[in-house]
């Protein structure tokens, strides 16, 4: 048996950043995953570190919108009808989390941690030699009509004003000035200059994992479900090795409840599945930054592999086979926006956003087991927040003064 100060389960962006933050606090750490680091959800996202992510993805309140989604023909949302009864209780809680009051609470809780998201990445990227993967060019959210722009942005921009987060409203000429290869399909756009993006979220996660190993950390393959308690220690099998520690952090993203449910926890974690596919540009067309086509719910991000289109939300069982109809619906819109050529891969990639109904992650001590710590449920913002919540949970474990108020992320809030 090899003894460590802490074991981190799951080597996505959240787990890797947690391991690094504990290591920085002089803890010996073993990082355990059944795959190589950064190959699950943290591989396939849009690579955006959203400074303005203080407005949640809400349940539609207008009947017209509900009816549009109910038809199940939209690009931004797709669902498996047979799965709906299973996810219905979660959707009801999401609806409660979509009231104006709940949105205010969410914004107030999230702004302080979002203000640190890029700089916490920066600390790791500098040491992990990943800086060249980062772009400080902001991102653009484009609206195809003035009416949609006005209806969709009012509350969000008011919050940006309150928090002092910079933005610029662009007309169609100004959009073309910023991104000359975009077709003039947007009537208006919001440019968020303080949002950062990367050319490979999986590559960034792997670079952080290499840094962790170079600094003396242990990474090994193993099944988190082998977790057990022996005397005062948590123990996990890592291949032939057995690793043990007094503290263990669950950073299993969409798989967190596979481990926690048998331990008696009932957190309302659902998944919003999403897809991506890369395309080569036609000719020498290029983008400097990610672009969101808000009406169709997709993001187009320049990546190392090509131009990555990431889809909106799909509700289905996490483990059901992929049904990438959304990519098919998006593609004509995306091709009319930017000159995309042939696909890089034959089939789209699929991943699952681990989502709680109040759209915030769970970060803190598990209430029923000493030394069991939780850091999961980052939803649409896991790549953004991984380094920041990795720092927060590490500070809670080492009993330091936390750099942001941990109360909104408390594991006790769903009791």
Question: Which residues, other chains included, contact 152 with Cβ-Cβ below 8 Å and sequence gap of 6+?
Answer: 143, 294
Q: At what angle do helices 382-397 and 100-127 cross, to 10 degrees?
A: 80
Question: Which residues, other chains included, contact 153 with Cβ-Cβ below 8 Å and sequence gap of 6+?
Answer: 143, 190
Quick check: helix, strand or coil at residue 401?
coil
Fill in the per-residue mask, 297 to 326: x = in contact with ligand FAD (CB under 6 A), - = not in contact.
Answer: -------------x----------------
Q: How far is the CB of 113 from ligand FAD (least distance, A)?
A: 12
Cα-trace Rg, the chain? 21
Q: How far is the CB of 203 from ligand FAD (least distance, A)?
A: 13
CB closest to ligand FAD, residue no: 382
Spatial separation of the C-alpha atoms in residues 350 and 41, rounded to whole Å = 8
The residues in 154-213 that bind ligand FAD, with binding defined as CB under 6 A, are none
Q: Which range in 125-133, 188-196, 251-259, 337-345 contacts ligand FAD by CB under 6 A? A: 251-259
The residues in 38-67 that bind ligand FAD, with binding defined as CB under 6 A, are 40-42, 44-48
Q: Which range in 141-149, 242-250, 379-387, 394-402 contacts ligand FAD by CB under 6 A? A: 379-387
Interface pick for ligand FAD out of 21, 98, 195, 251 (rule CB under 6 A): 251
Is residue 255 a contact residue for ligand FAD (CB under 6 A)? yes
Interface pick for ligand FAD out of 122, 128, 382, 406 (rule CB under 6 A): 382
**Residues listed for the chain:** 415
**Beta-carbon neighbour count of residue 237 at 10 Å?**
18
Question: Which residues, other chains included, contact 413 with Cβ-Cβ below 8 Å and sequence gap of 6+?
Answer: 358
Question: Which residues, other chains included, contact 167 with Cβ-Cβ below 8 Å and sequence gap of 6+?
Answer: 52, 157, 160, 190, 191, 192, 193
Q: How far is the CB of 272 from ligand FAD (least distance, A)?
A: 7
CA 23, chain centre distance (Å)? 23
Nearer to ligand FAD, 348 or 406 (CB): 348
**CA nearest neighbour of 361 among 410, 318, 403, 414:** 410
Interface pick for ligand FAD out of 135, 188, 378, 391 (rule CB under 6 A): 378
Q: Find residue 247's DSSP bridge partners.
A: 6
Q: How far is the CB of 234 from ligand FAD (least distance, A)?
A: 14
- Which positions touch ligand FAD (CB under 6 A)? 10-15, 33-35, 40-42, 44-48, 223-225, 251-255, 258, 274, 276, 310, 351, 353-354, 376, 378-384
């Amino acid at each position: 048996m090899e003894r460590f100060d802490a074991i981190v389960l799951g080597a996505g962006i959240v787990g890797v950043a947690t391991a690094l933050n504990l290591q920085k606090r002089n803890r010996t750490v073993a990082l355990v995953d059944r795959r190589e680091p950064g190959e699950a959800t943290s591989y396939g996202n849009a690579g955006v570190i959203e400074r303005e992510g203080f407005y949640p993805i809400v349940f539609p309140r207008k009947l017209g919108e509900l009816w549009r989604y109910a038809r199940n023909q939209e690009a931004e949302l797709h669902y498996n009808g047979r799965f709906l009864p299973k996810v219905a209780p979660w959707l009801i809680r999401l609806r409660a989390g979509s009231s104006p009051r709940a949105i205010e609470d969410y914004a107030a809780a999230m702004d302080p941690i979002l203000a640190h998201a890029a700089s916490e990445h920066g600390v790791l990227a500098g040491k992990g030699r990943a800086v060249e993967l980062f772009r400080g060019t902001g991102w653009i959210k484009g609206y195809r009509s003035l009416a949609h722009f006005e209806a969709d942005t009012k509350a969000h921009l008011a919050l940006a004003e309150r928090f002092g987060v910079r933005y610029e409203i662009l007309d169609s000429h100004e959009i073309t000035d910023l991104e000359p290869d975009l077709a003039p399909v947007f009537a208006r756009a919001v440019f968020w200059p303080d949002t950062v993006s990367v050319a490979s979220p999986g590559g960034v996660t792997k670079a952080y994992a290499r840094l962790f190993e170079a600094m003396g950390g242990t990474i090994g393959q193993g099944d988190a479900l082998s977790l057990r308690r022996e005397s005062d220690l948590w123990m996990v099998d890592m291949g032939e090795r057995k690793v043990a520690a007094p503290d263990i952090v669950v950073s299993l993203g969409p798989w967190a409840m596979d481990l926690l449910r048998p331990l008696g926890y009932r957190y309302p974690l659902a998944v919003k599945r999403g897809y991506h596919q890369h395309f080569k540009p036609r000719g020498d067309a290029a983008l400097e930054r990610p672009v969101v086509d808000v009406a169709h719910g997709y993001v187009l991000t320049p990546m190392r592999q090509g131009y990555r289109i990431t889809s909106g939300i799909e509700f289905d069982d996490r483990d059901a086979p992929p049904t990438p109809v959304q990519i098919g619906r998006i593609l004509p819109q995306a091709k009319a926006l930017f000159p995309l050529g042939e696909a890089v891969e034959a089939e789209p990639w699929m991943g699952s956003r681990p989502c709680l109904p109040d759209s915030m992650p769970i970060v803190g001590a598990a209430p029923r087991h000493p030394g069991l710590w939780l850091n999961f449920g980052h939803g649409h913002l896991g790549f953004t927040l991984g380094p920041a919540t990795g720092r927060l949970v590490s500070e809670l474990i080492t009993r330091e003064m936390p750099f942001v108020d941990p109360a909104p992320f408390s594991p006790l809030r769903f009791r």
